[in-house]
Amino acid sequence: MRVLVIHGPNLQLLGTREPEIYGRTTLQAIDGRLRALGRALGAFVECRQSNHEGEIVAWIGAAPGQFDGLILNPAAYTHTSVAIRDALAAVGLPAVEVHLSNVHRREAFRRRSLVAPVVLGTVSGLGALGYELALVGLLAHLRGQAVADAFGGLAGDGGNSGAAGGFGKSGGENPALKAPELGEKNR
């Protein structure tokens, strides 16, 4: 399995940009954790970031044949980009939308997602951990597994019911899924 992760505008500033909203975890740390979790689950994860709508659209358009699924944090483009929404719909790859903050607890304009109708699901408000949850859910979908079953390894059963043959460790601990720090406004 090959997964492309696309981070939208201003996400290169994570760790220092409004940490009370977005937390202190850097984009590099998020990407490193996603690649490590991907390896643990038998998947290749490639991460990219752009502040440019056209570049994001081009990456989505080129993804079929190279990637099996997408994880996308469109950031501010969530609310404005018909082009990104249409690219996702056109390629037809399974995709999960991620937002670090709970967009429904913020300004009214952030509550509308143009991409939500064309993705499998949305993870919002769980900080950097949201990306990892999106990866587990996307891989479960790609493998034809019920998403709820993919999280069985996190329930303390030693990983016997987790995705990819069980990814939890004894006692339900999985260092790849250690919860990151959330900003104060997200607690």
Tell me, yes or no, whether 168 lies in a domain: no
Tell me, yes or no, whether 186 lies in a domain: no
Rounded mean pLDDT, 84-99: 97
Q: Residue 186: what pLDDT?
A: 40
Using the predicted structure, report yes or no on whether residue 141 has a pLDDT greater than 50: yes
Tell me how many domains the chain contains.
Answer: 1
Tell me, yes or no, whether 53 lies in a domain: yes
Tell me, yes or no, whether 33 lies in a domain: yes
Bind-site residues for substrate = 73, 79, 86, 100-101, 110
Tell me, yes or no, whether 80 lies in a domain: yes
pTM for this entry = 0.78
Tell me, yes or no, whether 178 lies in a domain: no
Q: Is 22 a catalytic residue?
A: yes
CA angle 171, 149, 128 (to 5 degrees): 70
Tell me, yes or no, whether 173 lies in a domain: no
Q: Is 141 a catalytic residue?
A: no
Element (H, E) at 35: helix 27-40
Catalytic residue among 22, 77, 131, 141: 22
Q: Assign residue 39 the CATH number of its domain.
A: 3.40.50.9100
Q: Which residues pair with 180 in a beta bridge?
A: none
Rounded mean pLDDT, 164-170: 32
Mean residue pLDDT of the chain comes to: 82
The confidence band for 112, taking pLDDT boundaries of 50, 70 and 90, is: confident
C-beta neighbour count of 146 within 10 angstroms: 10
Bind-site residues = 73, 79, 86, 100-101, 110
pLDDT digits (tens, 9 = 90+) for 20-33: 777 688 999 999 99
Residue 126 belongs to what domain range? 2-149
Tell me, yes or no, whether 23 lies in a domain: yes
Distances (CA, A) of 18 to 15, 100, 149: 8, 12, 35
Distance in angstroms (rounded) separating the CA atoms of residues 63 and 81: 18
Rounded mean pLDDT, 57-69: 99
Characterize the bridge pairing of strands 44-49 and 2-7: parallel
91 in Cβ contact with 64 (< 8 Å): yes
